[in-house]
Amino acid sequence: MKYIIPGYVEIERNGERTLVTSNLLKNKIKLTDFSIRQEFDDIVKAGGCDDISTDLTRLLYEQEMLQTRQEIDKIVCSLKERMNKSLLLTIMPTEACNFRCPYCYEPHENITMTSDIVEQIKKYIQNMIDKFDNLQISWFGGEPTLCENIILDISSCVKELQTVRKFNYAATMTTNGYLLNIETFIKFYEVGIRSFQITLDGWNHNETRPHISGIRTLERIIDNLRKISTLSSEYEYNIIIRHNILDGDQDFSWYDYLSSLFAKDKRFSILVALVSDWGGTLVGSMPILEGKNRKQLKYAHQAYIKKIGLTLYEQPNDLFSDICYASFPYGFVFRANGMIDKCTISLNAPENHIGRIDAMEGIIIDPKKSKAWTEGQIHQKCYGCNRVLNCLNISCKKGAVVDNMCEKYVCKTFYPNKS
């Protein structure tokens, strides 16, 4: 029987000591004896060992730092069971938008949730919440701030539910920020929405993110954010400023400007993202980064952000942190038109439509279609991957379910061109 060191075990060598850390149990072992360290290095070089017969191998096995593949499979299964305890709802109160961004893939139909749909969503949360430890609501669109009343209605229902039921609650919003004045922000904050992602596309923002009327948008959004930043430290929120970059975007003075506004406020962070072709009608004419230049330019932006003291938003290194909401068994997108999807990108794909919200019958989900988005196997390379617990090889199922790509590996590690 082969015993291997799982990928979630980190090894740090520093002079005459070796520190071994498990990201699963958060336990550590420090090896200082030369012969023990040499034995450990031999195990690493050999890709594991055939038996548990020494003091070191017994210690590593007891600490679950040396496991068989079957034992790792059991760990993965137990972690997937834990995913069943989270209800992740992405709610699109409208599919309309007050912006017309050329890289956007959404059709922006002028559809807003009816009161019947809103009531059924509230009933679903009320009836289902006892099955879950965690509830996360992500407000999306369209532009969600066009439907302030719907957001406040559903969010207030959840806050009230918290007074009589026990569950963890977090709420986020993806918004263009144009209507997010300080008064509206405080209303959202008070009903539990504490994290916001707002895109500011640098000095070219008014060209890449114009208002539907054609007017400029950057100045108003900046004004909104500056006023929100004046709120006292009692307001514990996170605003992620997303900067979408194209080929040739090398004017870093934009970050100097952001630094002058927000560097001292650690509630603000900067996310650098690459514009990709998700299916918009105009994105094909834009200079999208390709090949090696994709990562090189992104890294250059990130390095400059750190250099000048801005807070760089980076992917968390936590359990499940690489896994898309769509891969969670109870991760659903409730759309304004009453459809229930798994993915917010493949809005027009039949494979993405797993149910509907009926005014009389409530939430109706096809379990077979939903399950296709959540299944995944751990493969040979996964066992030694340092992000196996973050990913579980179900990080993004869109490629397998919608795009008919090879299902063997779905994570970024084995699709190196993914950003």
- pLDDT, tens digit (0-9, with 9 covering 90-100), for 43-97: 999 999 999 999 999 999 999 999 999 999 999 999 999 999 999 999 999 999 9
Measured distance CA(265)–CA(142) in Å, rounded: 29
Distance separating alpha carbons of residues 150 and 144, to the nearest angstrom: 9
- CA–centroid distance for 105 within its chain: 19
pLDDT at 248: 79
DSSP codes joined into one string, 274-307: E---SS-SSGGGS----THHHHHHHHHHHHHHHH
Mean pLDDT of the region 9-22 = 95
Residue 392 to residue 390: CA distance in whole angstroms: 6
Give the integer Cα–Cα distance in Å for 376 and 397. 9
Q: What number is the average pLDDT over the span 121-143?
A: 98
* % of the chain at pLDDT higher than 90: 76
When pLDDT is averaged across residues 365-374 and rounded to a whole number, the result is 96
Residues 6+ apart with CB under 8 A from 278: 103, 105, 345
User: What mean pLDDT, rounded, does the chain reach?
Assistant: 92
Q: Does 1 score more than 80 pLDDT?
A: no
More confident residue, 319 or 335: 335
Full DSSP string of 327-355: GSTTEEEE-TTSEEES-SS-TT-GGGEEE
Q: Is the peptide bond before 280 cis (omega within 30 degrees of 0)?
A: no
Confidence of residue 351 (pLDDT cuts 50, 70, 90): very high
Q: Where in the chain are the domains?
A: 9-67, 69-419
Alpha helices in 129-179 (DSSP H): 148-162
In the predicted structure, residue 416 carries a pLDDT above the cut 50: no
Q: Is the pLDDT assigned to residue 126 strictly greater than 50?
A: yes
Question: Would you say residue 278 has pLDDT above 90?
Answer: no
pLDDT over threshold 50, residue 400: yes
Q: Given this model, what pLDDT does residue 406 score? A: 59
Cα-Cα-Cα-Cα dihedral sign, residues 300, 286, 174, 339: negative
pLDDT of residue 43: 96
Kindly indicate whether the domain formed by 69-419 is annotated with CATH number 3.40.50.300.
no
Q: Tell me what pLDDT residue 2 has.
A: 93
Average pLDDT for 379-396: 87
Distance CA 317, CA 153 (A): 34
- Whether the CB-CB separation of 419 and 276 falls below 8 Å is answered with yes
pLDDT value for 314: 86
Per-residue confidence (pLDDT) for residue 283, from 0 to 100? 66
Is the model's pLDDT at 107 over the cut of 80? yes
Q: State the Cα–Cα distance between residues 2 and 212, nearest whole angstrom.
A: 61
pLDDT of residue 381: 83
Residue 99 clears pLDDT 60, i.e. is over it: yes
pLDDT single digits (tens) 206-231 = 998 999 999 999 999 999 999 999 99
Per-position DSSP letters for 97-114, written without gaps between them: -SB--TT--------B--
Whether 418 has a pLDDT exceeding 50, the answer reads no
pLDDT of residue 250: 86
Q: Confidence band (pLDDT; 50, 70, 90) for 280? A: low
Q: How many CB atoms lie within 10 A of CB 251?
A: 11
pLDDT the model gives residue 419: 43
More confident residue, 44 or 384: 44
Collect all residues with Cβ–Cβ distance below 8 Å to 119 and sequence separation of at least 6: none
- Pick the most confident of 20-24, 387-391, 409-413: 20-24
